[in-house]
Amino acid sequence: MRRCPYSCGKARHWSGIAHDVILQKIWTLIRSFQQQRTTSEKKLENGADKAWSEQFLSLLGQALSGQIQRKEDYVLEQSPQRTHDTDFDLLTLAQWPEPKHIEESPLLPSVLAELDCQICYAALFDPLTTPCGHTFCRSCLLRSADHSPQCPTCRATIPPPFANLYHAPCSAVLASFFLNFWRPLWRERQLHIKEEQDLTEIFGTADASRLGPGITLPIFVCTLAFPYMPTFLHIFEPRYKLMIRRCVESGDGRFGIVLPRLPTASQSAGEAQGCPSATYGTVLRINSVQYLEDGRSLLETTGEDRFRLERWGSRDGYMVGRVELLPDDGTDGDSEAETESSLYPAGDLGFTLSPQDDALDIAGLLQEATHFIGKLRQGSAPWVLQHLEITHGEVPDDPSVFAFWVASLIPVHEEEKYLLLKARGVRTRLRIVLHWVRKLQNQLWFHGSCAVM
């Protein structure tokens, strides 16, 4: 029996503790090398071999002695225990001096061959060891966990919650090996991982310069979202788990969200031909992520900007787009009429308002729509109003926000709400909202005092 060296202090049977498979192999390899030299009476006369093997074993001891109750434990068992040092600092290790004459040792290729990830078959980077003792790159293990909760090598179940894989410290011993003996390889792997997350390479520099000041975003093909409004998402598909993880790791936390391709897209003005989704969408910023035990996640996001897809491609199963952000063109009627006439044939938005409604300015349109919302709120239960205020906030006074707030609440078909993302002016969006108001007022349920909000 051995007592746990961590805070729990429980006694456990030695055979029940998993060993780090890679460290076990390296330990055996070095011991075997030393024994062969001793047996054949060819002592470690090569200074590089001696210094290298001694430094390797010394590094094992230094890294593990603080994690195991007695240093003699792992020496006695001839195999060091798997351990993660929560205080391990890669930046500190990067300052350690390079050992001399390491490249001359015949042990180098043999040990390095054991330090490959069995998923990507490249050198380990940010190594993470599973409870069963197998080690992989953290990014590789996370991608594997998106599809299966089992160890890729032995198929043992990785215990939930999978959020532990995001935050668990890397294997201090293996990382220190690279930073002591193969630091250039570690840096090369670090750059490679960074390049995998660089979306600009999808379209190339030629496309980027031709498209001007656009930005490249991962695209979530799912539902409608609007600027300034909260959007709550449930992520369960493996490709979108990967997408969200990369958004969070990048530090930017932004992605685009669009509807699937609309049935009438081929006839709709402004829609890109051949686009696998709707052309217009919203940039969302991740506010918080809650990881569930089975690997799914719940996202709380807020809409920022509207955009139009200029180019599109794919990466690892999810869509990536080069997008043009769409600021509002102003609030005066003349500029909006010019904009809408270029977007819709003859300025036709697909509906007509009465002459009185069509003549209203922004303030008048806002007043009419606000009056309708007020009547609906009067017939709503108090708990409904409280829920709406917590989720979406109170009725906004800002005309540029009001239309998106209404679209998040009232029961209107998504194709009609989609017009708000295409409209580039505040007055145009308020005209669309007033059209919804008039249509709802003419329906039987409204006259019967049935409340929806």
CATH code of the domain made up of 21-38+52-64+90-200: 3.30.40.10
What are the residue ranges of CATH 2.30.130.40 in the chain? Answer: 213-261+276-326
Task: Kindly provide the b/e burial profile for residues 31-57, where b requires at least 16 CB atoms within 10 angstroms of the residue's own CB.
Answer: eebbeebeeeeeebeeebbebbbeebb
pLDDT tens for the chain, 453 residues: list them: 455 544 555 554 444 445 788 888 887 887 787 777 666 545 555 555 556 566 666 655 554 443 332 222 322 233 333 333 333 344 344 444 454 444 556 677 888 888 999 999 999 998 998 888 899 999 899 889 888 888 999 998 887 767 678 778 888 788 878 877 788 888 888 888 877 766 655 655 434 334 445 688 999 999 999 999 999 999 999 999 999 988 888 888 999 999 998 776 545 666 777 888 999 999 999 999 998 888 889 999 999 999 999 988 888 889 999 999 998 765 545 454 544 544 443 345 666 777 777 788 889 898 888 888 887 777 666 666 677 777 777 888 899 999 999 998 888 888 889 999 999 889 999 999 999 888 888 875 555 555 555
Q: Of all helices (H) and strands (E), which one includes residue 364?
A: helix 362-378
Predicted local distance difference test score (pLDDT) of residue 200: 55
Q: Shortest CA distance to 173 belongs to which of 91, 67, 108, 84?
A: 84
Decide: residue 241, CB within 10 A, 0-12 exposed, 13-18 middle, 19+ buried. Answer: buried
Distance of CA 430 to the CA centre of its chain: 34
CB contact set of 73 (below 8 Å; sequence gap of 6+): 2, 81
Predicted local distance difference test score (pLDDT) of residue 426: 92
What are the residue ranges of CATH 3.30.40.10 in the chain? Answer: 21-38+52-64+90-200
Predicted local distance difference test score (pLDDT) of residue 280: 94
- Give the integer Cα–Cα distance in Å for 436 and 403: 11
CB contact set of 3 (below 8 Å; sequence gap of 6+): 9, 10, 11, 12, 69
The answer to whether the CB of 185 falls within 8 A of the CB of 161 is: no
Q: How many CB atoms lie within 10 A of CB 4?
A: 12
- Give the integer Cα–Cα distance in Å for 358 and 365: 9
- Give the integer Cα–Cα distance in Å for 153 and 139: 16
Q: Which CATH class is domain 213-261+276-326?
A: mainly beta
Q: Shortest CA distance to 323 belongs to which of 342, 306, 304?
A: 306
The answer to whether the CB of 130 falls within 8 A of the CB of 145 is: no
Q: Let me know the angle formed at the C-alpha of 402 by 400 and 404, rounded to the nearest 5 degrees.
A: 90
Q: Of all helices (H) and strands (E), which one includes residue 288?
A: strand 280-291
Q: How many CB atoms lie within 10 A of CB 442?
A: 9
- Give the integer Cα–Cα distance in Å for 357 and 133: 71
Q: What six digits make up the tokens of 75? A: 């020496």
Q: Of all helices (H) and strands (E), which one includes residue 366?
A: helix 362-378
The per-residue DSSP string of 75-103 comes to HHHTSPBP---TT--HHHHTTSPPPSSGG
DSSP state of 47: H
Q: What six digits make up the tokens of 156? A: 């043992």
Query: Any idea how long the chain is?
Result: 453
The answer to whether the CB of 372 falls within 8 A of the CB of 437 is: yes
Phi-psi region of 375 (alpha: psi -120 to 50; beta: other; left: phi over 0): alpha
Predicted local distance difference test score (pLDDT) of residue 199: 63
- Backbone angles phi and psi of 323, in degrees to 5: -120, 150
